[in-house]
Structure 1
Amino acid sequence: MATDVAQREGCVLYDLELVGTGNGRILRIYIDKDAGVGVEDCSSVSKGLNLLLDANEDAVPGGNYTLEVSTPGLDRILTKPWHFEKVIGKKIYIKLTSSLSTLGVTEKGIASMKQFDEVLAAVEGDQLVFDIRGVNVKIPFSKIEKSKLVFEMKTNSIKKKK
């Protein structure tokens, strides 16, 4: 349902989550598109989804909830293979289920690493590829506990006139 509404509005469903309990539940819908998501996109998806959800009260079991539609943000969580494919060449944070040594990495200084921020070099099948301190490291999706894009603010140096 959310996928269809997002597509109809020219967006893609990035992710969704239902959090909270009782009357404090929140259904969060995250949308994205190549040109960037604006307030109008969020509003259109929210209105379209509200109409469908109101017509089908059983779509979200458990009673009352609040609907929120937004972008995944600058430090977006990465969970699906296509999320990673969109950020090749960018720095991402990875937390693994166990250290790199369990993946066969033996190099001193990186074998014990369980989390790191590195530039994603490639996605190959069900693995992410990184160059960590000159060592080619392949990490299966199944070994990733948490991952997100690392937001890096670019600063332009401005010269002051004297």
Structure 2
Amino acid sequence: MIIALGSDHAGFPLKEEIKNHLQQKGIEYKDYGCYSIESVDYPDIAETVALAVVQGQCDKGILVCGTGIGVSIAANKVPGIRAALCGDVFSAKASVEHNDANILTMGQRVTGPGLAIEIVDAWLAAAFLGDRHKRRVDKITALDRKYGRCLSEEKIDGQ
């Protein structure tokens, strides 16, 4: 398994904690930035990580910003991504089991490093349950196809 990692400047310290944890566990990762606390725009990093996941370069992704909200919103704009903002272990596990989440997002300013590591471990250990949940995830995929196709064929806001 290869994990795509990314953060903006506000999430950089927590991303580094997660990266060290993955190294200690022998889990392969690719770090898509940022690489310091110098200001960057989180949508750029979220898009890069999301594309690495949907294009198969990485199996899953983890994104961190100040709250986890911005990177979650941005990553979920990429068809095929199911990014879940998780601030607790139960939600992390359920996001994979029920929603087949392929990107975990967290917030540096709202989640301490100890809890973040527990969330990462639970998220990585969880497996999609399929069954009735597959039907629901298939409906999410259908929305990606329906609206992703429409947006690529039509001009947005008259542009």
Query: TM-score normalized by structure 2?
Result: 0.23
Greater C-alpha Rg = 1
Q: Return the structure number with greater strand share.
A: 1
Q: Higher helix fraction: Structure 1 or Structure 2?
A: 2
Larger RCO (CA under 8 A, 6+ residues apart) = 2
